[in-house]
Amino acid sequence: MVAEDQVWEALEEIPDPEIPVVSLVELGVIRSVDVEDGHVRIEFTPTFLGCPALEFMKRAIEEKVPGAEVQVIQDDSWSTDKITPAGREKLRAAGFAPPAPRLVQLQSQVHKCPYCGSTQTRLENIFGPTPCRSLRYCESCRQPFEQFKTI
Amino acid sequence: MNEQALLGLADDEFVLGWRESEWTGIAPLLEEDVAFSSIAQNEIGHARAVYELLVGPDGDADALAFDRQPEEYRCAPLVELHLLEWAHTIARRWLYEVADEIRITALKDDSDAAVAGLAAKIDREEAYHRLHAEMWHDRLRDEPRFQAAVEELWPYALGVLPSELRGELVTRVGLAEVEAVERGTHTDDLAPLWEEMTVVRRSAPAGAQW
């Protein structure tokens, strides 16, 4: 019989379809895993509602954990604060500035370059290649970069 | 929250998403091409989430989105208007976002937890649409062409909200309340848009798999 931690381990192997350096678990979109009498129930929270990868993620979970019931929860229980510390570091290493914690972003508008760490960066576009990203430019190392939006 | 009001919200986001997507590839600035495409995608995602809430776990959200006749849509006339002119497009973006924020803020306190939760999620994303709209409003507010567009669209903007929420819109926009172009009526611009957005679905054989 499958155990909860085995389900979590399986889910850790599913990469985000658009930013594959992080897994769905690191992205924080798996809200819960319940196993009862061999029946697996997984609660999944979408990131951005307009994200075209949502259906893909749901299907990837169903394929990885055959027979599992995947329930999509459309409330505001996911925010970018749910991204794990390991996930944030992987984003940064891949050139995506991780989202500032919500509390910090409300108090400051400082955005760090993921390449050189400089805070001398400017907004190029609130919107980017996917709904979850903005485009910024680093004045110090002259590198454009993508900023994960805080929501 | 009654279902008709939720359907109005979903239809507003759905139809406006189509309208905003009309700028894809032809916006006056590359940055705006990206912005309008992204906003359109988000609005249609919000519409889908509300349609899904309305039809329930076993329902067909696509059927609700696409299988109605034009006159059955509950969208506000503001979102139907075909506005391929920048001053009017930005005026609508800004007016819509101000009205939508008032509506979503009210929905976050809805007694139905599913409605309130979804409204809170939508609100987090709309914050970025508002930033974009405010940035353009700050840039154009002193331009006579923009001011004329805002005044022209003002009766339509009032029609986005139920009468009890209009006072706040009047305060925020700073124009006097006038007779609204009410939801439930439609402009001549809706039918051609409906033809376009439903053409693939109408032409597909029943039971087609995508």
pLDDT at A23: 97
Alpha-carbon distance of B43 to B12, in angstroms, equals 9
Nearest to B45 among A51, A79, A125 (CB): A51
Judge contact between A49 and A43, C-beta under 8 A.
Answer: no
Alpha-carbon distance of B199 to B56, in angstroms, equals 26
Q: Which are the contacts of B112, defined by CB distance < 8 A and separation ≥ 6?
A: B1
Q: Which of B57, B96, B98, B100 is nearest to B78 (CA)?
A: B96
> For residue B116, what is the nearest residue in chain A, using CA coordinates?
A75
Record: contact B41-A52, CB cut-off 8 A: yes
- A81 touches B at CB < 8 Å: no
- A126 touches B at CB < 8 Å: yes
**Which residues of chain A are within 8 Å of residue B37 when distances are taken between CB atoms?**
127
Apex CA B53: angle with CA B48 and CA B58, to 5°?
100
Apex CA B74: angle with CA B12 and CA B95, to 5°?
35
What is the average pLDDT across A27-36? 95
Low-confidence residues of chain B, pLDDT below 50? none
Name the CATH topology of B3-203. Answer: Ferritin (1.20.1260)
Number of Cβ within a 10 Å radius of residue B203: 8
- CATH classification of A4-78 is 2.40.128.50, yes or no? no
One-letter identity of residue B97: E
Alpha-carbon distance of A92 to A8, in angstroms, equals 24
First to last CA, chain B: 33
Kindly report the nearest CA distance between residue A72 and chain B, in angstroms: 10
Q: Which of A62, A68, A85, A83 is nearest to A33 (CA)?
A: A68
Element (H, E) at A125: strand A121-125
Report the residue of A18, A81, A126 to disrupt the B interface, i.e. the one with the largest count of B CBs within 10 Å: A126
The pLDDT tens digits for B91-143 are: 999 999 999 999 999 999 999 999 999 999 999 999 999 999 999 999 999 99
Q: Which ipTM score applies to this complex?
A: 0.86
Alpha-carbon distance of B61 to B54, in angstroms, equals 8
Query: What's the predicted TM-score (pTM) here?
Result: 0.92
pLDDT at B1: 57
Record: contact A131-B41, CB cut-off 8 A: yes
- Indicate if the pLDDT at residue A120 is higher than 70: yes
- Where are chain B's structural domains? 3-203
**Which residues of chain B are within 8 Å of residue A49 when distances are taken between CB atoms?**
42, 45-46, 48-49, 121-122, 125
Q: Which of A112, A113, A137, A133 is nearest to A123 (CA)?
A: A137
- Where are chain A's structural domains? 4-78, 85-148
- What percentage of residues in chain A have a pLDDT greater than 70? 97
pLDDT at A106: 60
Alpha-carbon distance of A83 to A12, in angstroms, equals 13
Residue count of chain B: 210
Judge contact between B70 and B186, C-beta under 8 A.
Answer: yes
Q: Which are the contacts of B105, defined by CB distance < 8 A and separation ≥ 6?
A: B123
Alpha-carbon distance of A116 to A114, in angstroms, equals 6
Judge contact between B185 and B155, C-beta under 8 A.
Answer: no
**Which residues of chain A are within 8 Å of residue B113 when distances are taken between CB atoms?**
75
